[in-house]
């Protein structure tokens, strides 16, 4: 989906997965500061929107998702995963139920595969799954925002702000009232600061929830009966995940950020040493400077000096070893 807000002054289109919305509107750090101060909004209208209706929707979703949703209160936000049979993360859903419909927004372009899986699991349950991406645009208001929400708009509210399921036809008119626009790069910088993983960025084909700290926020340990639950229980009760998510402070003297996939080595061994991890997301933060999220091997010491490519890095644990 190509956003109509790309016509706003200064808009520079994003690339890659986030193609379709603005990377920034001319001043990355100003946009970050505005979001941190609780002003402005982020156009996330490229994200997929999926709606599930029917009397059995929450009971049915409860059987498929890693989260406990059978009694999800109306208006309460949650997040959940869908795992493979081996416990690897396949989908991440950001959910809210409005009393008649369960709404989810998902990573751009993943909604079709998600819906195909959900359709295959309907059986005798009274549910309908619909792709509403063409009809609704996700707009993010940062925590502390006092921007008005139009009447009737479904809102998913968390500690990080509010996600609006806004009718796509209203996107331009709402942008005129919601304050200064911030691009996806500003949103990503704050996400990295908050240590929040993102599907397709912090995940690969073998990522399990424990590695990213998604236990508790997206995985409920007191429920079972979902695909991949055996792996979650085994790691929780008997072992440790092979990798862990870390937050990296990068050498600010470097001109270029290490790109996703850049190998991480122990500084004492240098770039020719053994690979102990890789960068997943790197950003320039308005206060912290260049920072990143990365996956490293579980047994890497917390005080180990690291190097990402040619860039020195110091780690903070997100998932404890």
pLDDT at 107: 98
What is the chain's mean pLDDT, rounded?
A: 96
How far apart, in Å, are the Cα atoms of 315 and each of 231, 232, 251? 28, 26, 12
Assign 165 to helix, strand or coil.
Answer: strand
CATH 3.30.70.1400 boundaries in the chain: 48-131
Do the beta carbons of residue 165 and residue 49 sit within 8 Å? yes
Find the Cα–Cα–Cα–Cα dihedral 205, 208, 211, 213, rounded to 10°: 120
pTM of the model: 0.96
CATH 2.40.30.110 boundaries in the chain: 242-320
Q: Taken in order 120, 214, 87, 245, is the CA torsion positive or negative?
A: positive
Q: Which fold is adopted by the domain 242-320?
A: Elongation Factor Tu (Ef-tu); domain 3 (2.40.30)
Q: At what angle do helices 184-193 and 28-36 cross, to 10 degrees?
A: 60
Contacts 24+ apart (CB under 8 A), 216-222: 217/79, 218/66, 218/67, 218/79, 218/80, 218/81, 218/92, 219/66, 219/67, 219/81, 220/66, 220/67, 220/68, 222/68
pLDDT at 272: 78
CATH architecture designation of domain 48-131: 2-Layer Sandwich (3.30)
The 8-class DSSP code of residue 73 comes to P
pLDDT at 31: 98
Question: Using DSSP, how many helices (H) and how many strands (E) does the chain show?
Answer: 7, 18
pLDDT at 60: 98
pLDDT at 167: 98
Cβ-in-10-Å burial (0-12, 13-18, 19+) of 146 comes to exposed
Quickly count: other Cβ atoms within 10 Å of residue 30's Cβ: 16
User: What is the per-residue pLDDT across 18-67, written as a single tens digit (0 to 9) for each?
Assistant: 999 999 999 999 999 999 999 999 999 999 999 999 999 999 999 999 99
pLDDT beneath 50, residues of the chain? none
pLDDT at 233: 95
């Amino acid at each position: 989906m190509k956003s109509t807000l790309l016509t706003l002054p200064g808009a520079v289109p994003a690339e890659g997965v986030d193609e379709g919305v603005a990377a920034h509107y001319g001043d990355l750090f100003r946009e970050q500061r505005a979001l941190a101060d609780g002003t402005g909004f982020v156009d996330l209208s490229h994200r997929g929107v999926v709606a599930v209706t029917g009397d059995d929707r929450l009971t049915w979703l409860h059987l498929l998702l890693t989260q406990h949703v059978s009694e999800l209160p109306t208006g309460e936000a949650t997040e959940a995963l869908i795992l493979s049979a081996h416990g690897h993360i396949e989908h991440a859903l950001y959910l809210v139920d409005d009393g008649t419909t369960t709404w989810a927004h998902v990573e751009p372009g993943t909604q079709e595969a998600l819906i195909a899986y959900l359709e295959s699991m309907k059986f005798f349950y009274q549910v309908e799954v619909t792709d509403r991406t063409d009809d609704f645009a996700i707009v993010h208001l940062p925590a502390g925002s006092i921007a008005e929400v139009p009447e009737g708009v479904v809102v998913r509210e968390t500690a990080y702000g509010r996600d609006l399921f806004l009718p796509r036809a209203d996107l331009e008119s709402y942008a005129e009232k919601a304050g200064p626009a911030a691009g996806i790069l500003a949103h990503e910088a704050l996400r990295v600061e908050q240590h929040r993983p993102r599907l397709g960025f912090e995940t690969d084909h073998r990522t399990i929830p424990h590695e990213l700290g998604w236990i508790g926020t997206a995985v409920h340990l007191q429920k079972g009966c979902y695909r991949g639950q055996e792996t979650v229980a085994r790691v929780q009760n008997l072992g440790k995940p092979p990798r862990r998510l870390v937050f990296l402070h990068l050498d600010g003297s470097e001109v270029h950020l290490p790109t996703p996939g850049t190998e991480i080595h122990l500084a004492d061994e240098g770039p020719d040493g053994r690979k102990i991890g890789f960068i997943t997301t790197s950003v320039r933060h308005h206060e912290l400077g260049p920072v990143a999220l990365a996956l490293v091997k579980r047994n890497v010491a917390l005080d180990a000096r690291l190097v990402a490519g040619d860039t020195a890095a110091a780690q903070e644990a997100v998932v404890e070893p």
